[in-house]
Amino acid sequence: MMDCDAIIFDLEDSVALDRKAEGRRNLLNFLREHDFGHPERIIRVNGAETLFFRDDMELVLSVGVDAVLLPKVEEPGEVQAVADLIADADAAERLRIWAMIETPRGVLNAPAIASTGRTSDSRLDALVVGLNDLRKATGIPAEPGRTYLVPYLMQVVLAARAYGLDVIDSVSNDFRQLDAFRAECAQGRAMGFDGKMLIHPAQIDAANDQFGPSEAAIAEARFIVGSFADPSHAGLNVVNIDGRMIERLHAEEAARLLAKVALIEARKEKNS
């Protein structure tokens, strides 16, 4: 089993217009015949404005996947409409929505889109950046470092963080250039992304290395959690540790990191 967090099955750009029905049938049979174990299963559907959307959503609702990935989301109403459709269909309670931000209007409206994740009946769980379409729409070339795309990327990260959503960086199309891909993963993590979409299994290890916690970070997290657990620090919000002022918020961050480590270790154990 591949050591990835999720597998996205694409019914949109990866399937030719005259083969959409065939693609749905093939995916239905594939999902019924294969057990993927740990990785979440996500289906990217065609846009709500297309003739294929309703049939795609019927498939999503029938196979019990973990999330539906909506392409080219530009308005919060698009997310809410899908949430209503899921509710009306009495779908599995766990089904969540991921929204792709891949157009200029989507970037501009990212805060409003993300805000739907705060409503009681919304299933929005994550924003996902799609740079191939955004580059096409803005005319920004695909250059190393993504210099002129960084402002747009950061707007999406900020919107996701403001409303408690996960946020996933865009794919890198050239899966042979793993050094460049590793650098792009490091950049994405530094910008605050939770992870990265991949286009080929060859990219999995590099993404895990860059987005996973380092041994040094794990050791420090355990130290911070242990320091605040010390009875002598009970009731303190700030602790002086070797000349560093560590706040309780750092302990909360450290606890979240250790929880992530536990999930990673559990996945590795299942995949071994």
pLDDT digits 0-9 by tens, 78-114: 999 999 999 877 656 789 999 999 999 999 999 999 9
Maximum CA extent, the chain: 69
pLDDT given for residue 248 in this prediction: 84
Q: How confident is the model at residue 251 (pLDDT cuts 50, 70, 90)?
A: confident
Find the range with the poorest average confidence among 8-22, 123-137, 189-203, 248-262.
248-262
How far is residue 54's CA from residue 267's CA, in Å, rounded to a whole number? 34
pLDDT given for residue 259 in this prediction: 87
| 256 and 196 within one domain | no
In a domain, 10, yes or no: yes
Q: Residue 12's Cα: distance from chain center in Å?
A: 18
| 100 and 65 within one domain | yes
In a domain, 137, yes or no: yes
In a domain, 160, yes or no: yes
pLDDT mean across residues, the chain:
90
pLDDT given for residue 12 in this prediction: 96
DSSP codes joined into one string, 111-128: HHHHHGGGSTT--EEEEE
Out of 211, 226, 242, a domain closes at 211
Domain hosting 237: range is 215-271
pLDDT digits 0-9 by tens, 26-64: 999 999 888 766 688 999 999 999 999 999 999 999 998
pLDDT given for residue 2 in this prediction: 64
Number of domains in the chain: 2
Q: How confident is the model at residue 25 (pLDDT cuts 50, 70, 90)?
A: very high
| 241 and 179 within one domain | no
Q: Closest Cα to residue 132, out of 90, 174, 170?
A: 170
| 251 and 201 within one domain | no
| 254 and 174 within one domain | no
In a domain, 1, yes or no: no
| 253 and 172 within one domain | no
